[in-house]
Amino acid sequence: MEKFLVLASASPRRSEILLSAGYEFNIITSAATEITEGAGAIIAAENAKAKALAVYSQQPENAVVLGADTVVCLNDKVLGKPKSREDAFNMLVSLSDSNHSVITGYAVASKNGVKTGYCETFVKFRPLTDEEINDYVATGECDDKAGAYGIQERASLFVEAINGDYFNIMGLPVAEIYPILKSEGIYPKWQKVLV
């Protein structure tokens, strides 16, 4: 029975990354309850695991389910998705002219069990004015994103430096996940002929 990949996420950015890398997959959103307390790496990895396992439990045994969760950490504070535009504004004020990290936890669930990990990338924002932040928040782009920004869109103008995996900031460190998927027999479409 041929294995197939399921992405346990409604994130268009994660889908875009997987598609660009050449993967074929189904999308099934997880209804797993997410934790919000603890260290960023633990939150991200545990939430990714919960999402992957919740979706895998509803799949046939030849499914391989990928779950992911992204958080932004400023010092010891974890910034999730903003609860309001005011919350988004305050998050961006705190990120202005500072270094922060973006952590994406990932989990791959299959009949072989679940493999988890996380990737951390460091980001430096340039100083932002209140006007810039207000204009950005008004676009609504910040609404569903950890740390209230999407690096691949308008907020790219805020970034002074990146140290680490760019795709991790978008929500899926695909190069780090690739060997795990490969070990499960899941390859990008363009690579099947090489297997």
Question: Is 76 an active-site residue?
Answer: no
The pLDDT assigned to 195 comes to 46
| Residues 159, 95 contacting (CB under 8 angstroms) | no
| Residues 173, 106 contacting (CB under 8 angstroms) | yes
Pick from 140, 168, 178: which is nearest to 44 by CA?
A: 168
Catalytically annotated residue among 69, 87, 97, 165: 69
The pLDDT assigned to 192 comes to 60
Would you tell me which CATH number, out of the four given (3.30.70.100, 3.20.20.70, 3.90.950.10, 3.30.420.40), belongs to the domain 4-194? 3.90.950.10
Q: Torsion over CA of 161, 169, 130 and 141, rounded to 10 degrees? A: 140
pLDDT in tens, the chain (195 residues): 889 999 999 999 999 999 999 999 999 999 899 888 899 999 999 999 999 999 999 999 999 999 999 999 999 899 988 999 999 999 999 999 999 999 999 999 999 999 999 999 999 999 999 999 999 999 999 998 999 999 999 999 999 999 999 999 999 999 999 999 999 999 999 886 444
Measured CA to CA, the distance from residue 115 to residue 13 in angstroms comes to 22
